[in-house]
Amino acid sequence: MTGGPRVVVVGASIGGLTAAETLRQEGFDGDVILIGDERHRPYNRPPLSKQIIVGDWEPEDAGIRSETEIDDLGIELRTSCTAEALDALGRVLHTSQGEIPFDELIIATGTEPRRHPLVPTALTLRTMDDALTIRDGLRSARRVAVIGPGILGSEIASAARKYGADTRLIGRSGTLTFGGVGALLSAQLVELHEANGVELSLDAEIVGASTDAGGTTIEFADGSTERAALVVAMIGGVPRAQWLLSSTLTVDNGVVCDGTGQAAPGISAIGDVAAWRDPYTGRPVRVEHQSNAIEQAIAVALRLVHGETGSRPVPLFWSELHGTRINAFGWFDPELPLVPFVGGAEPHPTVLVSRDAADRVHGAIGWNAPPREFRVARAAVAESSSLAPLP
Amino acid sequence: MGIVVQRDACVGAGQCALVAPDLFDQDDDGIVLLLEPNPEGALVDAATRAARLCPARAIAVSVP
């Protein structure tokens, strides 16, 4: 304790940790307290649905920083500590380990998976412990059902096939989606899953389910059923902001912030839980991608230390499904079909882009693209995004 | 400034090679390749930004 100004960061995942680290690297010399409600030290979440559930990595491989490194930076890490309420005007955080007064608070509590109302026994994935439970289930399940047409559903289905399980991927919108890309890649994803033996039911309406010792039976509106030893549901995330409902902050699908991440004087929010006002549309937008959490964390730390306000982060996300690596960078308008990227005179058949009528590239997707080719398209997105407002 | 990369921690996000292409490249699997372990001048800021953006914290920068 220095007795100087104190920054408290709630949420010890990549966003919270990056904020704490950047404060120190930029010379902030007051207290930095990082609290997390899990028992683990900070770890990366993207590998949970990738390397961890397929068993390529052990939990320690996903760790971001050791206790020693965190200690050396002068960051006080409190694990198994849950934020319970906030006195925003009095600047006091109430936690399961007592009250913590602060000068600046950074909220980085992320999201939690929405549970399926009709299949309450379905597993979900948010934490390392969730991932280990799913990994153990995949090791023995002969048949797996995955509910949810997004990246996480696709990744879990891909992992189940890697274990050799019969696998069914269930959605109800008729399409598969890929984060901020929406359904623009649906046809390619359908082809990829089918080529790798995943059964797809993409317009299936679940009407009920029952679970016994041997597994779960899911009932559909058309009278058919699915019987699986393991069921995982990844049907979207809910901001972990319930603990803020009694505070004076505006919580509306996330903590509503201005364009610099400030929710109220002395209080900022970053990452999946935060809805920053978009500088172009004026609307609060929540982005559930790791790169966004990192960039917002850096932006808030620089603002707190130097008063700087930074530029608009460009979303970056990636996946690996059945051995195919898919990268996405930028923004994707559902009305703009993806077209092959042409950079200079060279065609790049592994790169698809979202290109508008004015020839600006808003987003790029690499489909097993060599990294150098994808970077050419990424640079085009970065150039376009700094020029003019986006839709 | 000195840069050290941990290739076995890299997840291939490619942020480093985008923000500091003079310092970092990627192999065909997307894994980081260090081009210049001792950057100077304007490249120092680029190295710091690359290290911060790395989701795997696979890049360590040190000031001698």
CATH of the domain at A367: 3.30.390
User: For residue range A121-176, what is the model confidence (pLDDT) as tens digits?
Assistant: 999 999 999 999 999 999 999 999 999 999 999 999 999 999 999 999 999 999 99
DSSP-based three-state secondary structure for A136:
helix
Mean pLDDT of B23-43: 93
Do A356 and A362 form a contact (C-beta atoms < 8 A)? yes
Q: What is the model's pLDDT at position A359?
A: 85
Q: What residues form DSSP beta bridges with A8? A: A33, A105
User: At residue A390, does pLDDT exceed 60?
Assistant: no
Do A264 and A374 form a contact (C-beta atoms < 8 A)? no
Shared domain for A145 and A254, answered yes or no, is no
Do A106 and A7 form a contact (C-beta atoms < 8 A)? yes
User: At residue A280, does pLDDT exceed 90?
Assistant: no
Q: Which burial class, exposed, middle or buried, applies to A223 when counting CB atoms under 10 A from its CB (0-12, 13-18, 19+)?
A: exposed
> How close is the nearest chain B Cα to the Cα of A310, in Å?
13
Residues in A touching B26 (Cβ below 8 Å): 371-372
Q: What is the model's pLDDT at position A347?
A: 72
Shared domain for A33 and A101, answered yes or no, is yes
User: At residue B10, does pLDDT exceed 60?
Assistant: yes
Shared domain for A246 and A224, answered yes or no, is no
Shared domain for A189 and A332, answered yes or no, is no
User: For residue range A97-125, what is the model confidence (pLDDT) as tens digits?
Assistant: 999 999 999 999 999 999 999 999 999 99
Mean pLDDT of A205-210: 98
**Residue for token pair 């987003």:** A363
Q: Does residue A103 sit within a domain?
A: yes
Q: Does residue A315 sit within a domain?
A: no
Least confident of A204-218, A232-246, B12-26: B12-26
Neighbours of A163 (CB within 10 A): 18
User: At residue B20, does pLDDT exceed 90?
Assistant: yes
Substitution target in A327, A351, A365 with the highest count of B β-carbons within 10 Å is A327
Q: What are phi and psi of A14, to 5 degrees?
A: -60, -35
Greater confidence, A277 or A3? A277
Residue A2 — very low, low, confident or very high, per pLDDT cuts 50/70/90? Answer: low
User: At residue A328, does pLDDT exceed 70?
Assistant: yes
* Residue in A237, A326, A338, A356 with CA at minimum distance from that of residue A287: A237
Q: What is the model's pLDDT at position A386?
A: 58
Mean pLDDT of A8-32: 96
Q: Does residue A1 sit within a domain?
A: no
Q: Please report the domains of chain B, with CATH numbers, ordered by start residue.
A: 2-62 (3.30.70.20)
Mean pLDDT of B15-44: 93
- Whole-angstrom CA distances from A28 to A4, A141, B47 are 10, 50, 20
Q: What is the model's pLDDT at position B64?
A: 61
Mean pLDDT of B17-28: 92
Shared domain for A107 and A165, answered yes or no, is no
Do A274 and A285 form a contact (C-beta atoms < 8 A)? no
CA atoms of A43 and A65, how far apart (whole Å): 8
User: At residue A62, does pLDDT exceed 60?
Assistant: yes
Shared domain for A46 and A72, answered yes or no, is yes
Shared domain for A99 and A152, answered yes or no, is no
Do A193 and A200 form a contact (C-beta atoms < 8 A)? yes
CA atoms of A110 and A113, how far apart (whole Å): 10
Helix (H) or strand (E) holding A184: none
Q: Does residue A391 sit within a domain?
A: no
Q: Does residue A226 sit within a domain?
A: yes
Residue type (1 letter), A125: L
pTM of the model: 0.91
Shared domain for A221 and A242, answered yes or no, is no
Q: Out of A18, A65, A379, name the one closest to residue B52 (CB).
A: A18
Shared domain for A128 and A220, answered yes or no, is yes
The two structure tokens encoding residue A231 = 């069921």
Q: What are phi and psi of A244, to 5 degrees?
A: -100, -5
Mean pLDDT of A279-305: 92
Domain end among A233, A258, A275 = A233
As for how many domains chain A has, the answer is 3
Domain end among A261, A276, A306 = A306
Residues A170-201 as b or e (16 or more Cβ within 10 Å = b): bbbeebbbbbbbebbbbebbbebbeebebebb
* Contact: A47, B48; criterion CB under 8 Å: no
Residue type (1 letter), A21: E
User: How high does pLDDT run on average in chain A?
Assistant: 93
From chain A, which residues contact B within 8 Å (Cβ)?
14, 18, 21-22, 25, 44, 46-47, 61, 64-65, 290-291, 294-295, 298, 316, 318, 325, 327, 370-372, 374-375, 378-379, 382
For residue B64, the 8-state DSSP code is: -
Return left, alpha or beta for A15; rule: phi > 0 is left, psi -120 to 50 is alpha, else beta: alpha
Percent of chain B having pLDDT more than 70?
Answer: 98
DSSP-based three-state secondary structure for A292:
helix
Q: Does residue A293 sit within a domain?
A: yes
Residue B51 — very low, low, confident or very high, per pLDDT cuts 50/70/90? Answer: very high
Q: What is the model's pLDDT at position A309?
A: 75
Q: Does residue A44 sit within a domain?
A: yes
Chain A touched by B1 (CB under 8 Å): no
The two structure tokens encoding residue A230 = 């393991």
**pLDDT winner (highest mean) among A223-227, A357-361, A362-366:** A223-227
* Contact: A291, B11; criterion CB under 8 Å: no
Shared domain for A174 and A123, answered yes or no, is yes
Q: Does residue A390 sit within a domain?
A: no
Domain end among A233, A253, A275 = A233
Shared domain for A246 and A199, answered yes or no, is no
Percent of chain A having pLDDT more than 70?
Answer: 96
Strand pairing report for A166-170 and A143-147: parallel
- Residue ranges making up the domain that contains A79: 6-112+237-306
User: For residue range A73-90, what is the model confidence (pLDDT) as tens digits?
Assistant: 999 999 999 999 999 999
Residues in B touching A295 (Cβ below 8 Å): 53
Q: What are phi and psi of A267, to 5 degrees?
A: -135, 125
DSSP-based three-state secondary structure for A11:
coil
> How close is the nearest chain B Cα to the Cα of A59, in Å?
13
The two structure tokens encoding residue A303 = 């603002």
Q: What is the model's pLDDT at position A360?
A: 87
Shared domain for A133 and A269, answered yes or no, is no
User: At residue A387, does pLDDT exceed 60?
Assistant: no
Do A272 and A180 form a contact (C-beta atoms < 8 A)? no
Neighbours of A334 (CB within 10 A): 10
**Residue for token pair 């699997």:** B29
CA atoms of A315 and A109, how far apart (whole Å): 19
**CATH number of the domain that residue A23 is part of:** 3.50.50.60
